[in-house]
């Protein structure tokens, strides 16, 4: 059959039709445990009994108006995000790349406002920030960039977790205005920035009057067991792009900014048609409310620990498991070989997972995951991994 959908994804050969909680069903009626959460999007799982009626109510009132009008729901969600982050102001958009694109604009204008005509931004190896021309230029993956040159200039790329490299740039490059990184790299293989490094980056940004911009599109919104992953280091960024999990599946993005960044964009500098629409705002407001009401952050921390412990126990004595990384329900299991074939094998065993950076199994289940579901996930994954690693390396 000819497909009229552009061929941009390697898709598995089944279609999901509906879900409930952490379980989804395909069009043939087969059932899966959702260990992927729509890539960290389905914070509340599927068809959440508190979210569904709220969204139905909102759709019945208004889905979209325009940013021409006062926006009380934007005010409400922005106030909540500021309360949770300790930051001061929010711009709403619809996706992660847009939030990052806006953050890059803030950094450049911050530089221009300080008289730096060619502002540069420190970015990282293995980073992923999106697929627009600017965000793919900031991304540190040659596969994402191949074929799309010329890339946007003004980025200085460094290895992750290396403060000396940042200090060297601070000494030698007067055009730098910001450091931009994922608190925990997602697509790059679940690579955490160390807590001491985050604190060091905060200090350097303060000394240099640079913006610390933390891309929490994937690791934010409670997934690590705190609202935002950088809160484990007790620091605050100047700019924090959010998206994925904030709307539990309704497209939403946000740029959250602190005192040094919140007034950089002025009327006419930035905008979007869909950003901040009532449906997306309601989804964000209800997601955060339900997360608090149902204690989903402590749950994410506890279930993450449970899965990690289960995998470590189940894999004792097995060669080929290199490292388990991440925090809470953002888990990367690095193997000693490429493991893309596990996507289909896991699905056939009733579990949805992701594989990223070729050899890292990535788990990003909904934050409502129960202990029984965590055990079920481990119970499916461990035998799969044992079988896979027992075979000779290809």
Ligand X SMILES: *Cc1c(COP(=O)(O)O)cnc(C)c1O
What is the binding site for ligand X (CB under 6 A)? 95-97, 100, 128-130, 182, 186-187, 215, 217-218, 243-244
Q: What is the DSSP string of 333-387?
A: EEESS--TTHHHHHHHTTEE-EEETTTEEEE---TT--HHHHHHHHHHHHHHHHH
Q: What is the DSSP string of 78-94?
A: HHHHHHHHS--EEEEES
> Smallest distance, Å, CB 255 to ligand X?
12
Nearer to ligand X, 129 or 260 (CB): 129
Nearer to ligand X, 315 or 361 (CB): 361
Work out the number of other CB atoms within 10 angstroms of the CB of residue 63: 13
Strand partners, 359: none
Can you list the alpha helix ranges (DSSP code H) found in 139-277?
Answer: 142-145, 163-172, 195-208
> Smallest distance, Å, CB 387 to ligand X?
30
> Smallest distance, Å, CB 181 to ligand X?
9
Strand partners, 239: 213, 257
Query: Could you tell me how many residues make up the chain?
Result: 394
> Smallest distance, Å, CB 252 to ligand X?
9
Nearer to ligand X, 95 or 248 (CB): 95
Nearer to ligand X, 95 or 193 (CB): 95
> Smallest distance, Å, CB 132 to ligand X?
8
Nearer to ligand X, 44 or 315 (CB): 44
Q: Measured between alpha carbons, how far is residue 344 from residues 11, 57, 376 in Å?
A: 10, 38, 18
> Smallest distance, Å, CB 159 to ligand X?
18
- Residue nearest ligand X, CB atom distance: 96
Nearer to ligand X, 128 or 388 (CB): 128
Is 322 strand, coil or helix? Answer: strand
């Amino acid at each position: 059959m000819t497909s009229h959908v552009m061929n941009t994804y390697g898709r598995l050969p089944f279609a999901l039709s509906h879900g409930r909680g952490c379980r989804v069903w395909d069009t043939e009626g087969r059932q899966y445990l959702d260990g992927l959460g729509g890539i960290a999007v389905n914070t509340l799982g599927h068809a959440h009994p508190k979210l569904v009626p709220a969204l139905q109510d909102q759709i019945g009132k208004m889905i979209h108006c325009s940013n021409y009008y006062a926006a009380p729901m934007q005010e409400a969600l922005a106030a909540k995000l500021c309360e949770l982050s300790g930051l001061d102001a929010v711009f709403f958009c619809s996706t992660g790349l847009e939030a990052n694109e806006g953050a890059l604009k803030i950094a450049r204008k911050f530089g221009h406002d300080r008289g730096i005509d060619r502002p540069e931004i420190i970015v990282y190896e293995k980073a992923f920030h999106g697929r627009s021309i600017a965000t793919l230029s900031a991304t540190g993956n040659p596969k994402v960039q191949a074929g799309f040159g010329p890339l946007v200039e003004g980025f200085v790329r460094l290895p992750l977790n290396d403060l000396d490299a940042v200090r060297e740039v601070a000494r030698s490059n007067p055009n730098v205005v910001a450091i931009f990184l994922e608190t925990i790299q997602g697509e790059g293989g679940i690579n955490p920035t160390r807590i001491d490094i985050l604190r060091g980056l905060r200090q350097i940004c303060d000394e240099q009057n640079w913006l610390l911009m933390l891309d929490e599109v994937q690791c934010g919104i409670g997934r690590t067991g705190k609202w935002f992953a950088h809160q484990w280091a007790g620091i605050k960024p100047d700019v924090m792009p959010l998206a994925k999990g904030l709307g539990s599946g309704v497209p939403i993005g946000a740029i959250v900014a602190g005192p040094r960044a919140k007034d950089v964009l002025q009327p006419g500098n930035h905008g979007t048609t869909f950003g901040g629409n009532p449906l997306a705002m309601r989804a964000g407001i209800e997601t955060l409310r339900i997360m608090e009401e149902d204690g989903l952050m402590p749950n994410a921390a506890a279930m993450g620990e449970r899965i990690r412990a289960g995998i470590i126990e189940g894999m004792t004595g097995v060669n080929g498991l290199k490292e388990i990384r991440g925090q809470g329900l953002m888990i990367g299991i690095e193997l000693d070989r490429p493991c893309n074939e596990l996507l289909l094998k896991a699905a056939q065993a009733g579990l949805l997972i992701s594989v990223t950076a070729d050899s890292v199994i990535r788990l990003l289940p909904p934050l409502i995951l129960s202990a029984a579901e965590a055990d079920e996930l481990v119970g499916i994954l461990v035998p799969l991994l044992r079988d896979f690693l027992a075979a000779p390396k290809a």
